[in-house]
């Protein structure tokens, strides 16, 4: 299952490979993991990928307003976004158009530089969703603070007055997003999760999650598994990732 460090690497790879590219056409195969396939087919062509952001284990491709004669009938020309979740076996990367489709490729977005952005997912537990400008704020509202961005003061404000049990709080939507996955659950399983969050914070103040996470992620993409182990408490031998992310390999 792609965890937060792997998703961060994929997002960084997409920023290098598809940022600024325009989507020319969309090809979909199996669509049971897509919120509304017709929206993606109708609204994505003609839009430029303006930003690639990560929200926990979700990626958000921010899209420009549609352009081109083929989109003149499109009444929704405001900026929008494509929400991507990799689920358990998903992967998204740019590929040469001449390269054969892998077996479980379910979505392909033709780009204006002759490549294709392809989404593959063996088990189809992921998610693709077209989000209009009006729907985007409501979708992002449920995400918690990102450990790479939240300050110690903001983190303290979020949990100081909470009386929830630590494990329930850290795995909730209002908690740092990287804890909302299997490694967070493993880590909390070894802790005394019956203690209240506010009381625990009063005893161990002064360390927000961002300082710990940033220390292990800003060095390089190759340290993703080191961050994974130290922040999530994963007691396994550290495995380094190749210096070239898989999403950039030809």
- pLDDT tens-digit series, residues 107-153: 999 999 999 999 999 999 999 999 998 898 888 877 766 766 777 77
* pLDDT given for residue 73 in this prediction: 45
If you average pLDDT over each of 52-61, 159-168, 192-201, 202-211, which comes out highest?
52-61
Q: How confident is the model at residue 180 (pLDDT cuts 50, 70, 90)?
A: very low
Domain 4-140 -> CATH class: alpha beta
CA atoms of 176 and 158, how far apart (whole Å)? 10
Whether 232 has a pLDDT exceeding 50, the answer reads: no
Answer whether 216's CB lies under 8 Å from 226's CB: yes
Higher per-residue confidence, 100 vs 168: 100
Is residue 202 predicted with pLDDT exceeding 60?
no
Flag whether the pTM goes above 0.75.
no
- Where in the chain are all domains bearing CATH 3.20.190.10? 4-140
Q: Would you state the pLDDT for residue 58? A: 93
pLDDT of residue 1: 64
The pLDDT value recorded for residue 83 is 96
Q: Is the pLDDT of residue 69 over 50?
A: no
Q: What is the mean pLDDT of residues 26-43?
A: 95
pLDDT at res. 223: 45
């Amino acid at each position: 299952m792609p965890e937060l460090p792997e998703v961060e690497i994929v997002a960084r790879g997409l920023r290098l490979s598809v940022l600024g590219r325009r989507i020319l056409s969309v090809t979909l195969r199996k669509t049971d993991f897509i919120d509304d396939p017709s929206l993606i087919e109708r609204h994505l062509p003609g839009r430029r990928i303006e930003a690639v952001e990560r929200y926990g284990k979700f990626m958000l491709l921010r899209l420009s307003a549609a352009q081109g004669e083929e989109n003149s009938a499109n009444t929704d020309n405001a900026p929008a976004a494509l929400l991507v979740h990799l689920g358990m076996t998903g992967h998204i990367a740019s590929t040469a158009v001449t390269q054969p489709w892998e077996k479980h490729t379910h979505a392909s977005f033709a780009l204006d530089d002759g490549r294709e952005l392809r989404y593959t997912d063996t088990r189809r537990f992921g998610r693709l969703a077209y989000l209009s400008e009006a729907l985007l704020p409501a979708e992002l509202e449920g995400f918690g603070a990102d450990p790479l961005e939240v300050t110690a003061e903001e983190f303290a404000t979020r949990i100081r007055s909470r009386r929830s049990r630590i494990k329930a709080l850290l795995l909730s939507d209002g908690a740092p997003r990287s804890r909302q996955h299997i490694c967070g659950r493993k880590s909390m399983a070894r802790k005394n999760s019956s203690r209240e969050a506010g009381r625990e914070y009063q005893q161990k103040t002064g360390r927000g999650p961002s300082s710990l996470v940033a220390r292990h992620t800003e060095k390089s993409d190759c340290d993703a598994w080191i961050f994974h182990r130290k922040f999530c408490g994963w007691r396994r031998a550290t495995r380094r990732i190749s210096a070239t992310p898989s999403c950039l390999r030809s």
